[in-house]
Amino acid sequence: MSNVIEARGLTKRYGRYTAVDNIDLEVPAGRIVGLIGPNGAGKTSALKAILGLTSFDGHLNVLGKDPSRDRASLMEEVCFIADVAVLPRWARVWQLIEFTEKVHPHFSREKCVRYLSTTKVTLDHKVKQLSKGMVAQLHLAIVMAIDVKLLVLDEPTLGLDILYRKQFYTNLLNDYFDEHRSILITTHQVEEVEHILSDLIFIKEGKIALDCTMEDVQERYVELMVAPERAEAARALNPLFERVLFGRHIFLYQNGNREQLKEFGELHTPNVADLFVATMSGGES
Amino acid sequence: MNRLKALMMREYWENKGAFRTTPLVIGGIYVTVFLMGIITFGYFDNEFHTLKEAIQYLAANTDPGHRAMAVEMGLMFNSFLFTLVLAFVVFFYLLGSLYDDRKDRSILWWKSLPASDTLTLASKLLSAMFVVPLLFFVVYVATMLVVNLIGAIVVLALGQNPWTLFLGLANPLKPLGLLLASYLAMAIWALPLYGWLMFVSAVSPRIPLLFALVPPAVFAVLQIWIDFLRTFTLKTNLGGLIWNWFANSPLIISGGEHNNSIGAALGVPITDDFDHAVTIGNMLDRLFSKDMLMGLVVAAVFLAAALWLRHRASDS
């Protein structure tokens, strides 16, 4: 499968501050990639470059196009939800649908109306009359009715309650995603996306701290829970990260010898959130 | 083409209040004031000359040629309020055109759709140049229709023939056509201003009105001051340039000098030798002048800058 996004030496500077620092990135088709990093790590800057919303240095190719020059034609194949609640507040739902239909060659009005019929949003609503969760539903309904190769989501569920958040990702997986499409999600709410991701990219201070598939994560990383009296010995085996929970020590190992580690206590597959914390707090370097 | 149409439709939807409701309200005010005038006139019927007598007097003692001219002039003069408000609407529309969606961040939505920045800019400029003036013009014509219809009914009710009194005398197409032509000519004449407003709209971090007015004002004042110190004369400066631009504009409300009397006839063509009279000839004269050419260059620079800024703009 060819790559949907290819970045080489992608760099974004704001004056003297470097938000994205010379990163290489590849997103293959048919994957759901999570781009995860703390606030200010450069996620949004990287996404803006990919979407042609900002200038950048380095080489960037999205679906064979240069986003900084070709945004309009790129947007026929790429869709994005940048943050919640960016739909124009003055617009009525039917106006947004009509506009999108006229402007976008791959938009299906029927699909959009069908998705909306499962929500409380009506065609005559003004966006400003809708709750934040309903705006997110509306935005997703429009975007899911557009047949594109790449969907980019930047903190799409920020500020929504848990019901809407779950629903959002369920709809995305069940009704939208297939092997011809790729989805790139940025978020710092790691827990809620970890079950749907196929690939994981951690970004830290403008650089890529981790780039692997979810299968790799399971193979590469292991978590060991040990009683305090054996902690010293476990610590000698070069863990990536250590934390204490209910008096038990939890160590995270990269490429650890599972046979050897089993001697000390229980082994688990670490969840993405723990891996994230370990990576961000110094970890590898 | 379809995309441009959709983008212009979107401008109309967003600005329905300014584009459609505003002229309707002015039209409503016109009709109301007209009705109030008739009622007031009728209310004092017992004490003064009656409305009936006045109309009889007009029908008997005035020259149909003069009445025709009065009707024609009226059809142009009455547009004054419409034109004034139209200018304000276009001004503030352009000032917000590339600013509002940056402020409320909906630019992230608009930019997620495959409509180019050039087309977006074009849709806004074309709306300001043609859509808004045309809407105001249509409502104005409708208002004049209603007012004349009411007038005709009143005249008829008072026993006179409205057709010979005023309706059938003048050719309304001439003044209305001239008004429409002046709106279209103004759309081109005003391009440097429109370019400036769109540029300011694209560049302002906040309060575009301030950025639109303060820099040229400061510049003009400094220029006048420095000029004055240096040469003790006041010949060319930005302020004078802007005044000349306005005085020469093909607008029916615009004034100008004629035999040293400023504002003569407010641009209405009483005589064709009046330099500022709004006639088709004078309009074409303006639009094919060296001044206009320079204005177009200025407009192109501002619009190119606005486009460049729009291309790079997102929500921050």
Residue of A102, A104, A143 to mutate for B, most B C-beta atoms under 10 A: A102
| Closest partner CB to A104 (pick from B13, B114, B315) | B114
Chain A from 56 to 95: CB within 8 A of any B CB: 71-76, 79-83, 85-92, 95
User: For residue range A200-256, what is the model confidence (pLDDT) as tens digits?
Assistant: 998 888 888 888 888 888 888 888 888 888 777 778 777 888 888 888 888 888 887
Q: Give just the sign of the alpha carbon dihedral A13, A15, A19, A21.
A: positive
Pick the closest to residue B197 from B67, B288, B306 (CA basis). B306
Q: What's the rounded Cα separation, in Å, for the pair B126 and A212?
A: 50
B57-80: average pLDDT: 84
Q: Give the confidence band of B234 by pLDDT, cuts at 50, 70, 90.
A: low
Are A232 and A213 in contact by the 8 Å Cβ rule? The answer is no
Cβ distance B114 to A95 less than 8 Å, yes or no, reads no
Are A58 and A224 in contact by the 8 Å Cβ rule? The answer is no
Q: Where are the domains of chain A?
A: 3-205, 220-280
Pick the closest to residue B183 from B115, B253, B247 (CA basis). B253
Residue of A14, A62, A99 to mutate for B, most B C-beta atoms under 10 A: A99
Distance, in angstroms, between B310 CA and closest chain A CA?
10
Are A184 and A63 in contact by the 8 Å Cβ rule? The answer is no
Tell me the whole-structure pTM to 2 decimals. Answer: 0.86
pLDDT at B136: 97
Q: What's the rounded Cα separation, in Å, for the pair A108 and B193?
A: 41
- ipTM, two decimals, is 0.86
Report the DSSP beta bridge partners of residue A211: A201
Q: Is B111 on the interface with A (CB under 8 A)?
A: yes
Residue B232 backbone zone (phi > 0: left; psi -120 to 50: alpha; other: beta):
left
Q: Which helix (H) or strand (E) holds B138?
A: helix B132-157
Q: Give the confidence band of B302 by pLDDT, cuts at 50, 70, 90.
A: very high
Q: What is the rounded average pLDDT for all residues in chain B?
A: 84
Q: What is the mean pLDDT of each run of 10 residues along chain A (285 residues)?
A: 85 88 89 87 87 89 89 90 83 96 94 92 94 89 91 85 84 84 86 86 88 85 83 79 83 81 81 84 54
Q: Does domain A220-280 have CATH number 3.30.70?
A: yes
Q: What's the rounded Cα separation, in Å, for the pair B154 and B50?
A: 13
- B277 pLDDT exceeds 70? no
Neighbours of A117 (CB within 10 A): 11
User: For residue range B169-178, what is the model confidence (pLDDT) as tens digits?
Assistant: 888 888 899 8
Distance, in angstroms, between A153 CA and closest chain B CA?
11
Length of chain A: 285
Pick the closest to residue A274 from A225, A237, A236, A228 (CA basis). A225
Place of tokens 């008004």: B179
Helix axes B290-312, B117-126, angle to 10 degrees: 130
Residue of A76, A103, A142, A184 to mutate for B, most B C-beta atoms under 10 A: A103
Q: Is B103 on the interface with A (CB under 8 A)?
A: no
Q: Is A103 on the interface with B (CB under 8 A)?
A: yes
pLDDT at A128: 93
Q: Is B115 on the interface with A (CB under 8 A)?
A: yes
Q: Give the confidence band of B262 by pLDDT, cuts at 50, 70, 90.
A: very low
Pick the closest to residue B195 from B300, B312, B105 (CA basis). B300
Q: Give the confidence band of B252 by pLDDT, cuts at 50, 70, 90.
A: low
Return the number of CB contacts < 8 Å for A and B. Answer: 80
- B240 pLDDT exceeds 60? yes
Q: Give the confidence band of B251 by pLDDT, cuts at 50, 70, 90.
A: confident
Distance, in angstroms, between B158 CA and closest chain A CA?
49
**Chain B neighbors of A82, CB-CB under 8 A:** 108, 112, 315
A3-205 CATH pick, 1.10.10.1150, 3.40.190.10, 3.40.50.1370, 3.40.50.300 = 3.40.50.300
Cβ distance B109 to A86 less than 8 Å, yes or no, reads yes
Helix axes B132-157, B80-97, angle to 10 degrees: 160
Q: What's the rounded Cα separation, in Å, for the pair A137 and A164?
A: 8
Are A237 and A231 in contact by the 8 Å Cβ rule? The answer is no
Report the DSSP beta bridge partners of residue A254: A221
Residue of A54, A86, A143, A152 to mutate for B, most B C-beta atoms under 10 A: A86
Angle at Cα B28 formed by Cα B25 and Cα B30, nearest 5°?
115
Distance, in angstroms, between A272 CA and closest chain B CA?
29
Q: Is B272 on the interface with A (CB under 8 A)?
A: no
Chain A from 169 to 228: CB within 8 A of any B CB: none
pLDDT at B266: 45
Proportion of chain B above pLDDT 90, given as a percent: 47
Cβ distance A103 to B3 less than 8 Å, yes or no, reads yes
